[in-house]
Each structure stands twice: as C-alpha cells, then as structure tokens.
C-alpha cells in the first residue's frame, strides 16, 4: 500500500495546478487555459520519472534508483491520474475557446491518451501474464509515443519569444531523458568482460 504514494502525488500536484490556473486567470477562458497548461507541466516530471525509472537503476544502481524502478508502475499510474486532470482542463479550455481546433491538431494528443489509457488498464501482473510479449511492446511503444508528443509540444514553443524559456527547458529535459535511456540500453547490450 505504501508504494502507491506516487499515484497520490500525481493527483495532488495536478489538482493544485488546476486550482492555481483557475485562480490566476482573469477570464474563464484564460483560467482554463492556464489550468490546462499548468497541469501538463506538473505531469511532465512524473512522466519523466516513469520514463527513466529502469534506466536510472541500470546506470546508477543505488537504493533510490532501485526504489524508483520497483515503483515504476505506481509512477506511471500517477502520471495517468495527473494527465486525466489535464485532459479535463484541456477539454473545458477547448470548449470555451471561440477558435475551434482542427482535427489534425487533436490527433497527437488523442493518440497519447489512447496509449495512456491502454497502459494504465494493463498495469497489473494479471495483464502482463495475459498479454505476454505484447505487454512489453505496448508499454515500450506507448511510453515513447508519449515522450515524442511531449517533446514536440514543448519544442514548438521555442520559436515563440513568450514561451521560449519553457520550451527550451522542457525540450532539454526530454532530450536528456532520451539520452539516458539510450546510454542505459547500450550498457545493457554491451558484453561483460571479466
């Protein structure tokens, strides 16, 4: 039961971000846009911990990284809960916005949410047994699709002066996370010499 705290953390952070966004806006539309933006930003570090859990343990075996890898499922569910709050804020913001979104602009996020849902629903030992090798395929593809969508969403903010700092910071974190995963993968695949 104690291991489930990352899920509670994801929920608490997203609810705080939601409340802060709603309080900070001067109009209903601005409030919901801020809530959507801030819930995405607090969910991103929770996602990165999930994305890096096993890689950090492989690169730096220690009690903290072992605990992170052991609780990876709960970090993933914490991200799923957090991003569900983000989805609510985003849906309300989009519904209030007088400029409708194009279908093409909704596809990447929709794809990410399909993977988030599929991964959350299969985050159990029973699902792992039932899906066999397909469980690993789903979770490997899913986590990389979510990483890519986060990275592209932040990278497109870099050219805009008002959002450049956030775009650069978050894209750098995402790129560093991918680099760490590649390093961990290469370490795992390297032959051990006696």
Rounded-to-integer distance, Cα 109 and Cα 185, Å: 27
75 Rama class: left (phi>0) / alpha (psi -120 to 50) / beta: alpha
Exposed e or buried b per residue across 39-48, where buried means at least 16 C-beta atoms within 10 angstroms of its C-beta: bbbbbbebbb
Geometric angle at alpha carbon 117, from 78 and 6, rounded to 5°:
5
Residue 1, pLDDT above cutoff 90:
no
Structure tokens at 70: 């052991």
Q: How does pLDDT run across 113-165, given as a tens digit for each residue?
A: 999 999 999 999 999 999 999 999 999 999 999 999 999 999 999 999 999 99
CA atoms within 13 A on the CB side of 96: 15
pLDDT score at 189: 64
Q: Is the pLDDT of residue 2 over 60?
A: no
Tell me the pLDDT tens digit for each residue of 19-50: 999 999 999 999 999 999 999 999 999 999 99
- 163 token code pair: 């959002």
Q: DSSP state, 62?
A: S
- Kindly report the three-state secondary structure assignment for every residue of the chain: CHHHHHHHHHHHHHHHHHHHHHHHCCCHHHHHHHHHHHHHHHHHHHHHHHHHHHHHHHHCCCHHHHHHHHCHHHHHHHHHHHHHHHHHHHHHHHHHCCCCCCHHHHHHHHHHHHHHHHHHHCCCHHHHHHHCHHHHHHHHHHHHHHHHHHHHHHHCCCCCHHHHHHHHHHHHHHHHHHHHHHHHHHHHHCCCCC
Q: What's the predicted TM-score (pTM) here?
A: 0.90
Report pLDDT for 193.
42
pLDDT for 11 beyond 50 = yes
Triad 177, 79, 142: Cα angle to 5°: 65
pLDDT tens-place string over residues 59-107: 999 999 999 999 999 999 999 999 999 999 999 999 999 888 887 888 9
Backbone φ, ψ for residue 71 (5° rounding): -100, 15
């Amino acid at each position: 039961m104690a291991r489930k705290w990352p899920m509670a953390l994801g929920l608490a952070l997203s609810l705080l971000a939601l409340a802060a966004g709603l309080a900070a806006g001067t109009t209903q539309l601005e409030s919901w846009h801020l809530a959507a933006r801030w819930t995405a930003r607090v969910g991103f570090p929770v996602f990165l911990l999930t994305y890096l859990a096993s890689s950090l343990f492989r690169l730096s075996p220690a009690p903290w990284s072992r605990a992170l890898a052991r609780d990876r499922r709960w970090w993933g569910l914490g991200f799923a809960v957090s991003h569900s709050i983000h989805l609510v804020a985003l849906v309300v913001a989009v519904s209030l916005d007088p400029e409708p979104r194009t279908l093409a602009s909704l596809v990447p996020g929709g794809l990410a949410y399909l993977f988030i849902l599929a991964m959350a629903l299969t985050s159990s030992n029973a699902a792992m047994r039932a899906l066999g090798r397909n469980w690993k395929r789903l979770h490997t593809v899913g986590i990389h699709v979510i990483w890519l969508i986060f990275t592209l969403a932040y990278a497109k903010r870099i050219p805009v002066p008002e959002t450049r700092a956030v775009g650069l910071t978050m894209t750098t974190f995402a790129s560093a996370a991918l680099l760490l995963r590649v390093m961990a993968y290469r370490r795992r695949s390297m032959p051990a010499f006696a």
